[in-house]
Amino acid sequence: MPAERAKGMVPDNNRGDRSEGKVCSLWRDAWERLKQNKAAIAGLFLVAVITLAAVFAPLITKYDPGVQLVWTQGPDAQLVPPGTDHWFGTDIYGRDIYSRVVYGARVSLQIGVASTIISVVIGVILGAMAGYYGGLVDDIISWLTNVIFAFPFLLFVLALVAYLPPGLPLMYAAIGIVNWAGVARIVRGQVLSAREKEYVEAATVVGGSDVRVIVKHILPNILAPVIVQATLGMGSIIMLESSLSFLGFGIQPPTPSWGYEIDQGRQYLLAGAWWWSAFPGFAIMALVLGFNLLGDGLRDALDPRQNVGEGR
């Protein structure tokens, strides 16, 4: 029992350094394995290209995503098909779809990253507590995890968004609050098995506090599955954000958002303007595909079963 564990008996000099050294070697090995995986590198490439495009959006776009060219160029600027001037064509207001797709990546990535951080923080804290303490704490957290899993992801977030005032930070929070359960379940399982390992026992015996043992010794060793889950989770969060925008409950216009663009563009499909919906759709697919390929590759590269005995 944690309460019975000896505390403050021996100073644990340099133990942190040693565990960091081990982690470094694991990451280097993982990177070597990841480099061999063509699909994972393709995924990394997709994610990197879209992220760079989002960061340097003003440098790689000719038009401001909000500028309505109909006001300056008249109806000729409406629904212009893809060409040299407008790579992805224009919408009914004469806005450049390429610019809107590039700037739309900012919203998707912002929500993806921020919501993932929130859900990983909540999931790691609750999962580690459940796995480490066991007993009633585990029962309560596992119960809560099962309850959260019972709700359809999109519906739950929609209901939360319906009650909250519109705004980007609240959307991060709503998605993060709903999405932590997957991380918690994985962390719990990992901590449960790590708790029995000799290095954890050693760290406890020499007087490490519960928090220190979890943060300094257990977490670095269970980081791999959390990273895999977070990477794969990014894909589903981006998909969720686009669904919310498609339904009209995402980021409010005029901020460009891929799901909203698809919804707006579909009304002009019959008029032959396929590009308005098609390109944002390709963008979502590319980014989600990138995270899925990268996540699958990371899982293979970081699979702890391949690392047994390493770093000792």
Partner 1 sequence: MTNYVFRRLLAVIPVIVGVIAVVFILTSIVPGDPARLMVGQRGDPATIQKLREDLGLNRPLWQQFIDFFKGVVTLDLGRSYRTRMPVIQAIAERLPITARLALASMALAVTSGVTLGMVAALKQNSMLDYGSMIAALIGISAPSFWVGIMLVVLFCVQLRWIPGTGTGDGSWIYLVLPALTLGMRPAALIARLTRSGMLEVLGQDYIRTARSKGLTEKAVIIGHALKNAMIPVITVVGTGMAEMLGGAIVVEKLFSLPGVGRLGIEAILNRDFAIIRGQVLFMALIFVVTNLLVDLSYPLFDPRIKYGRTWRRE
Residues in the site for partner 1, rule: CB under 8 A? 142-144, 146-156, 158-160, 162-165, 189, 192, 235, 239, 242-243, 246-247, 249, 259, 262-263, 266, 269-270, 274, 277-278, 280-281, 284-285, 288-289, 292-293
Q: Measure the CA dihedral 156/160/166/170, to 10°.
A: -90
φ, ψ of residue 10 to 5 degrees: the values are: -130, 135
Find the shortest distance in angstroms from Cβ 190 to partner 1. Answer: 11
* C-alpha span between 154 and 162 (Å, rounded): 12
Find the shortest distance in angstroms from Cβ 26 to partner 1. Answer: 24
Find the shortest distance in angstroms from Cβ 43 to partner 1. Answer: 10
Find the shortest distance in angstroms from Cβ 198 to partner 1. Answer: 21
* C-alpha span between 98 and 93 (Å, rounded): 14
Find the shortest distance in angstroms from Cβ 107 to partner 1. Answer: 15
* C-alpha span between 248 and 266 (Å, rounded): 14
Nearest Cα neighbor of 265 from 146, 100, 121, 67 is 100
Identify whether the C-beta of residue 288 lies closer than 8 Å to the C-beta of residue 47.
Answer: no
Of 48 and 269, CB closest to partner 1: 269
DSSP, res 250 = S
Of 103 and 246, CB closest to partner 1: 246
Find the shortest distance in angstroms from Cβ 61 to partner 1. Answer: 22
Of 82 and 281, CB closest to partner 1: 281
Of 69 and 186, CB closest to partner 1: 186
* C-alpha span between 14 and 200 (Å, rounded): 16
Of 46 and 302, CB closest to partner 1: 46
Omega of the bond prior to 254 within 30 degrees of 0, cis?
A: yes
Q: How many residues does the chain have?
A: 312
Find the shortest distance in angstroms from Cβ 39 to partner 1. Answer: 9
Of 75 and 165, CB closest to partner 1: 165
Residue with tokens 């990841």: 34
DSSP, res 218 = I
Of 103 and 276, CB closest to partner 1: 276
Residue with tokens 């990268």: 294
